[in-house]
Structure 1
Amino acid sequence: MRLPARVTVAAALTALVALGPLGAHAFADEPESDQLWLNTPYELSLPAGGTQSPGEARVLDVGLYHDNADAEVVDGRVHVDASGIAAVAEIEWPSNCAPTGPTAVCSVPAVSNTGDADDIRLTVRAAPGAAAGARGTVRYSATATGGPDGTLTAYEQETTVSVAAGPDLTPVGVHDVEHAVLGSSLTQPVAVVNRGTEAAHGFTLEMNVPYGLDFDARRPECQYRTTGGGNAPITFATCTYDTVLEPGETFALPGGVGLAVREHAMDERFGVNVTLGGGATDIDTGNDSAYAAVRADNTADFRVRGATVRGAAGETVTARLRFRNTGPAWVANLGSGDPVASVGFVVPRGATVTGYPEEECHPTTLAGEYYEGTTGAPRYACSLPIWAAPDAVRDFAFALRVDTVLPGATGAVTLTPPYGDTFPFDPKPGNNKAKVVLNPGVKP
């Protein structure tokens, strides 16, 4: 049975939208539940070597992780069976693997819950004389100590390894930047290297920056566009070059790429993707992209506002809740696609919710778990978009039917991140909470 890591990215995002941050917390609060996972690539393409020499090395990363952040999982053992590629490739085993012929048992002493695929790094080369088109399969299985039964077992995975001939372009040179100064400019040295076996006759570079960055200058060989609408604003530069790159050659953009750090920047990233020109096929599309984090020292004040409403028994009133980012930074979860926050609303006693923003909010129990039905829940969780501009405002209107007049009945409004309990960038966490007061000072 082949299941991709975390099932699939799309499924993971769908689950987060459906459950919201409280859904994710609910799983973490159940120490009796856990699952072990293998994070492996679906396929790996190797450049062909000579008749007497192996091809250029590629890295095959294997990760081991588990779901429950509150549980300790240790003594991970990953069984790697490379017998299926014996005629295709050579493997150099890392120090945490004990090989026996074409198989090995690799140790992961402490299993994390992050899903990073670098616990085991296999160095793989096309075998001497392996022809383009040759292929085989590496298979994996894994166990670890932990979970409700004392042992966790991962679903088996596999990677298809193939040999190919042709150009293989990959962007290099970009690097992470910490403590970028607001309002300043910085330079990313962008280059393209051909790691394949044949020449590349022209290529296109597409570079992108999010809302907190901009391109310092416009290059004549590039076309620029900015996307927006309901999505986070991203500016793209598409640059075309007719340069011929022989195997092993590198092309560097003259002067690098200048980036302007805007005043609302905080956690940004600069992306580069390369594609071959003339409809040619790259033998390894898995290394066509590179990203660099650009982090500025900035803050964003997230806050929520509650409401005070009045109504007689049997009357329906509207409580309008509000989220606001007063900046100065924007916030975006561009990589994960998680909402920037969730607004939770605990309904005041004596009232029943009869209407709410169904596209953004869902009912839960007081503990944040699944609630049968839609209206009448004791609590509602509302997901925000994946980004919030420095002046972003989001309103949530709840229709409350007053069943019983209870003077000063109070509900709670709370703002929580998708993971963890606090927003590390928020200098005023006290305003992440507010109240909804129903009929203050009214006699029953």
Structure 2
Amino acid sequence: MPIPPHNRRVSRAAVAAIGAAGLIALTSAPAAFGDETAPEMVIGGIEPIDGVEPGSTFDLPVTVANKGTGASEKVWVSYSVTRGLDFAEVPSNCRAQQVPSYDEMPERWIAVCAFDQGLEPGVVYTPEKPLRVKALDRALNDELRVSVGDADPGADENGTPPVAGTAPAVKLVEGQAGGEGSAPFVDVPVTSVNTADYQVKGAALKGSVGDTVTMKVAFSNAGPAWVLTREGDRLVTVVVTPPEGTSVVKPHGFCEAKGEAYVCGTSQRSVNEGGGETYTFKLKIDKRVADAKGSVALSTEARPFDTDKANDKADITLDVPGGGSSGSTGSSTDGSGGSAGGSSSTGDDDATTNGGSLAETGSSTWPITGAAAAAVATGAGTLLIVRRHRARA
């Protein structure tokens, strides 16, 4: 069943990208006209961080350098960490803000540090005291970005008002040559030793032949860690198989038919602890089938963080008077499987993500193609993600 396209607006990320392209063009123009004295800031000195224990701290030993031919007057170093991490302390020459998830970017903390000193070309510098980061109880697969520039990057307009740090100010000092990097930013994965329990919840349906009933099944993350799927990795999907003797009148908007089953995507590439999705279907009872039963199950890609596989599949039962009953999964008998993990439902096409309903955000979703759903069901390619335009905290 084709999914109708939704209205699409230009995202803030797209606007930012366009603006950045314009700034690059403007800042590169003088060099094209013979100005060879502009500074060229690069950052380095930091490698992927593995084996972090939740509750522990670690330092970020970065280096900054000027590969251009002209000295810079001031330097700004920016740090961004996803929601499993936080800054243990923030120097007074830095400002920090919390930014909620939006435009498919996960929630994160940002610290921008200003250094009122110039960087001479060819010299490597490092903060005299590295910025310290703490791994929270929900840490698992997090992301860190560090960038440098000779202009204030400003605050993210979607975040909280920036607050100046209270720890002693730091300055840049000359460091060892080498490892200075070659780009103005670097992305670093941070992996913590933690687990998360993905699980599903089925439904118990009841009705007569000819009735249309509402079926709600749920996917949730019982934690303790949140899960951020890294770029290029496969995302979880949920496979819903309605009970025999029924036909789907209206599937959930995140779901695409694949044979007798429906493959359902997620609203974004991260799932907060206690968050998840609720999938709502309208089913028509076409005939009595003794002990009719369907299922809801997680896709089978490897999830090393989830060691409990017993709750990866649940029954969808159907009781038709005169046709027998296959029992109950513990869900309500009004046709709703309910929502697991603190999620809530708001209507026929409600979907909850990270504890909140998309129906309440005004978010739009991108259509899921049949080819993408087929790729998920057969284990080939990258599986589905329903992209949303914007979510507010």
Q: Which residue identity lines up with residue 120 of structure 2 in the other structure?
A: E
Give the corresponding residue for 1:397: 280
Q: Distance in 2 between matches of 1:355 and 1:340?
A: 24
Give the corresponding residue for 2:242: 347
Q: Which residue identity lines up with residue 435 of structure 1 in the other structure?
A: D
1:178 to 31, 34, 50: 50
Give the corresponding residue for 2:126: 252
CA contact (8 A) 1:349 1:409 kept: yes
Q: Distance in 1 between matches of 2:303 and 2:320?
A: 32
Give the corresponding residue for 1:333: 229
2:144 counterpart of 1:261 = no
Q: Distance in 1 between matches of 2:45 and 2:323?
A: 70
CA contact (8 A) 1:193 1:248 kept: yes
Give the corresponding residue for 2:192: 296
Q: Any idea what SS the aligned residue of 1:232 has? A: coil
1:340 shift after superposition: 4.1
Q: Distance in 2 between matches of 1:278 and 1:443?
A: 70
Q: Any idea what SS the aligned residue of 1:395 has? A: strand
Which has the larger Rg? 1
Q: Distance in 2 between matches of 1:251 and 1:206?
A: 15
Matches for 1:191-210 after TM superposition, within 5 Å: 191-210=63-82
Q: Any idea what SS the aligned residue of 1:423 has? A: coil
2:319 counterpart of 1:439 = yes
Matches for 1:52-67 after TM superposition, within 5 Å: none
Give the corresponding residue for 1:321: 217
Q: Distance in 2 between matches of 1:229 and 1:188?
A: 24
The 4+ residue runs of structure 1 with deviation greater than 6 A are none
1:300 shift after superposition: 0.7
Give the corresponding residue for 2:269: 386
2:97 counterpart of 1:214 = no
CA contact (8 A) 1:343 1:414 kept: yes
Cα deviation, 1:269-312, whole Å, max 9, x if unaligned, reads 22101122389xxxxx9811112222111111100111110110
2:247 counterpart of 1:364 = no
Q: Which residue identity lines up with residue 408 of structure 1 in the other structure?
A: D
Q: Across the two proteins, how many residue pairs are aligned to each other?
A: 269
More strand by share: 1
Unaligned runs of 5+ in 2: 1-9, 11-30, 154-180, 325-393
Q: Aligned-pair RMSD on alpha carbons?
A: 3.1
Q: Any idea what SS the aligned residue of 1:263 has? A: coil
CA contact (8 A) 2:221 2:271 kept: yes
Q: Any idea what SS the aligned residue of 2:310 has? A: helix
Q: Which residue identity lines up with residue 241 of structure 1 in the other structure?
A: F
Q: What TM-score results when the alignment is normalised by the length of structure 2?
A: 0.62
Give the corresponding residue for 2:340: none
CA contact (8 A) 2:239 2:261 kept: no
Unaligned runs of 5+ in 1: 1-9, 11-131, 135-161, 280-284, 367-376
Q: Distance in 1 between matches of 2:286 and 2:144?
A: 54
Q: Any idea what SS the aligned residue of 2:76 has? A: strand
Q: Any idea what SS the aligned residue of 2:290 has? A: coil
Q: Any idea what SS the aligned residue of 1:175 has? A: coil
Q: Which residue identity lines up with residue 179 of structure 1 in the other structure?
A: G
2:310 counterpart of 1:426 = no
Give the corresponding residue for 2:110: 236
1:441 shift after superposition: 8.2
394 and 347 in structure 1: CA distance in 2 versus 1, 3 angstrom threshold: same
1:133 shift after superposition: 4.2
Give the corresponding residue for 2:204: 308
184 and 435 in structure 1: CA distance in 2 versus 1, 3 angstrom threshold: same
Q: Which residue identity lines up with residue 430 of structure 1 in the other structure?
A: A
1:190 shift after superposition: 2.0
Q: Distance in 2 between matches of 1:439 and 1:334?
A: 42
Q: What TM-score results when the alignment is normalised by the length of structure 1?
A: 0.55
Q: Distance in 2 between matches of 1:381 and 1:278?
A: 43
1:267 shift after superposition: 1.2
Q: Distance in 2 between matches of 1:429 and 1:343?
A: 14
CA contact (8 A) 1:201 1:278 kept: no
247 and 328 in structure 1: CA distance in 2 versus 1, 3 angstrom threshold: same
Q: Distance in 1 between matches of 2:152 and 2:227?
A: 39
1:440 shift after superposition: 7.0
Give the corresponding residue for 2:19: none
425 and 394 in structure 1: CA distance in 2 versus 1, 3 angstrom threshold: same
Higher relative contact order (CA 8 A, sep 6+): 2
CA contact (8 A) 2:44 2:182 kept: no
